[in-house]
Amino acid sequence: IDRLNNSNDMRVSSFFAGIGGFDLGLERAGMSVVFQCELDPFCQQILNRHWPHVPLHDDITTLNPATIPTADLWCAGWPCQDLSTANTERTGLSGKRSGLFFTFMDLVREVRPAWLVMENVPGLLSAEQGAALETVIDTLEANGYLGGWVSCNAVDSGLPHNRDRVFFIASFRSERAYHFFTDSSELSGNTAARESSKAQTRPDFRQIALRDNPLVVQRRGGFGYTLAKSICPTLRAQTGGHQGGHSDRPILCGEELDMDRVGATDGVSSRLDGRRGRLIGNAVVPTISEWIGKRILEIEILEQKNMATDRSSINPITS
């Protein structure tokens, strides 16, 4: 129990790490990141800045499993482009990018970490007429991992935008992951606090009437203001032949984007541009990964307590 209470003991390897959303949340939960894998050069700069002492590999397809440090948990938000409903020509897990799921699982098969936590878009549930989801689950089970999946939205953690994602939580040759789904409920853990947090993101009547606090949104065509909704839509990546939602050319009703004004009201950095917007939109919400990490630590500690109780109940053999 004391071992698991040590914040540096439960070790994490992060794959498709992006800007470190999984990593940040799991560290806040009390875990320690010991390895990262990320291909994007700009993301690598961010990871090196915040985790300067953590080994960082670039291309997962060239990764030797023997070089991955020992870790209790592997997390992976593998590419979603071939699964997302925003892609009208999505090819599912057979796609070049989303198919890296199988590359990741090849590494898992060699190393067999105790826990897997994976993330992707809700489009996974419908891709290939549902066959993609079955393939993911079947692949996990074929490699000895038991667990399930849960859909989590950023707004449920109190953040002022909709970003629904699917998370898989599984444990190797153990039913421990089942406790994650049978024993947990609200994402926040406090319904009143969550509702209060959500309410704070909505402008009051005076703000709406005076237009002092416009909400920044991203649509096809660029940034802009809107009062139509009180929650920002998900930041979107560029798809197909359309100008992406992350365009740094603000076009909406001819109004230019005043980042200083928006930053004061919505907490958006004045340094936000198309590149940063894309990375934020692709990132795992740290609040959600923190919640997942805390639940896993609780399960591990409970498992240790039960094992200790079982050992203490065994009477030694006396002659």
Q: Show which residues are catalytic.
A: 80
Helix axes 41-50, 274-282, angle to 10 degrees: 70
H/E stretch holding 26 reads: helix 21-29
Nearest alpha carbon to residue 65 among 54, 73, 57? 57
Nearest alpha carbon to residue 116 among 14, 224, 48? 14
Contact residues for 292 (Cβ-Cβ < 8 A; gap 6+): 25, 26, 29, 117, 167, 169, 180
Structure-token match 């399960």, residue found: 299
Contact residues for 304 (Cβ-Cβ < 8 A; gap 6+): 1, 3, 4
Structure-token match 């482009």, residue found: 81
Taking the C-alpha atoms of residue 79 and residue 18, their distance in angstroms, rounded to an integer, is: 10
How many other CB atoms sit within 10 Å of the CB of residue 52? 8
Angle in degrees, CA 152, 170, 173, rounded to 5: 165
Burial class of residue 171 in the structure, from the number of CB atoms within 10 Å of its CB (0-12 exposed, 13-18 middle, 19+ buried):
buried
